[in-house]
Amino acid sequence: MLDEARETRLPFKPERTTTRIRNRKNPQGVQKRLLGNRYVPLRTKIAGLAGAAALTFFGGEKIADQVLSDTNTAENPGATVKIDQLPSQDKRIIDLRAQTNSYIFKDLTEKEKEEANREVREMDQVIFRNPSFKDMVRVVSDNESYINQVADKYTIPRAVAYGIVLIENGGAADLISPAGAVGPAQLMKDAAIEMGLRVDDDVDERLDPAKAFDAMVSYIAKYRDLFGGNLGIAVWNYHAGPGNVGEAIRLYFLDAEGIDIGELNFKVYSDLIKKRSLDVHRLLNNPRVRQQLLPRLEDETELYPAKAASGAYLYPLYKEVR
């Protein structure tokens, strides 16, 4: 029997809905730069990539017409990226796309794969056309050694860490979001404290790149393990927070199987995620989740996993184009 009281509960307060890229519904999102004890609006710079004018057909696999990476893996992106006229079906580009997507989306039907791939390709254009794209890439590249260390330490694919930092940093390492996320990893205060950082009136360790990236990746690894080893759900959790993710999972099983699995219990939820091979794309496209949870949240949180996959794909292609 449905718990009617729970069906009419007050909406969850968004815990983290601060994607640092301009999206389709909210192109006027404002970031601020930390200057001393004051926050002032950051004026975004138009980021002109070398040869960007040639990218008139940018989108999906079309990117391969202009961009070549000297590698075929996301984990070892190589040192040379150049604008070039290449066949649109260059195998290295296609393999890179498949690999980066596979980290976040797993156990999908062919139809679901097509849907997820289409969504990621749409996010390519959203991210690439951000006026701060060049600076966003620079922040990742400048901090790549830190990111690599913590990704390896917590067994998170480097490509996923790159993708998240790319879409979060906003083109600088000292920004604060409207929701209060700070630094190159855009950590919320509660998440930072949860992962052992000091955040108070005197010190904010979210602005220390080494500590910020360690906290970011360890947070993702922690919730990957708590959510059944599912990295895609953990990536979305970095944006939405465990309360919203737990509610989405509860609504999913209520809709898909007619069972109420109760309030968030990581052991129960983890077992179900593993047994049902629940994928984050399937979770976020469930009708009940879309109707009853997502409208309460902000900043198109349902697109966050696709944005992370897109960032993981774009970064190795553009890291040397500055």
Q: Model confidence over 37-91: pLDDT tens digits?
A: 333 333 332 233 322 322 322 333 333 233 323 333 444 443 333 333 322 457 7
Per-residue pLDDT of 5-25, as tens digits, reads 233 233 344 454 344 443 444
DSSP 130-146: STTHHHHHHHHHHTHHH
The answer to whether residues 309 and 124 touch, using CB atoms and an 8 Å cutoff, is: no
> Using CA atoms, how far apart are residues 79 and 81, in angstroms rounded to an integer?
7
Helices (H) and strands (E) in the chain, counts: 14, 5
For tokens 């959510």, the residue is 227
DSSP letter at 20 equals S
Say if residues 58 and 124 touch (Cβ distance below 8 Å).
Answer: yes
- Cβ-in-10-Å burial (0-12, 13-18, 19+) of 267 comes to exposed
CA distance 118 to 207: 35
Confirm if 198 and 226 have CB atoms less than 8 A apart: no
Comparing C-alpha atoms, which of 321, 309, 314 is closest to residue 280?
Answer: 309
Q: What dihedral do alpha carbons 44, 48, 49, 52 form, nearest 10°?
A: 130
> pLDDT tens digit string along 175-186?
999 989 999 999
Q: Which residue has the higher pLDDT, 20 or 134?
A: 134
CA distance 192 to 203: 12
Q: How far apart are CA 245 and CA 238, in angstroms?
A: 10
Q: Compute the average pLDDT of residues 272-278.
A: 97
- Rounded-to-integer distance, Cα 152 and Cα 150, Å: 5
- In the prediction, which pLDDT does 28 show? 44
Nearest to 74 by CA among 305, 236, 315: 315
Does the domain formed by 49-318 have CATH 1.20.1090.10?
A: no
86, containing H or E segment: none
Neighbouring C-beta atoms of residue 25, cutoff 10 Å: 9
pLDDT above 70 covers what percent of the chain? 71
- The DSSP symbol for 48 reads -
Which sign, positive or negative, has the C-alpha torsion 84, 20, 140, 245?
negative
* pLDDT per position as a tens digit, 106-116: 999 999 999 99
pLDDT digits (tens, 9 = 90+) for 200-212: 999 999 999 999 9
319 vs 175: CA distance, rounded Å: 21
State both tokens at 143: 């901090």
Domain ranges of the chain: 49-318
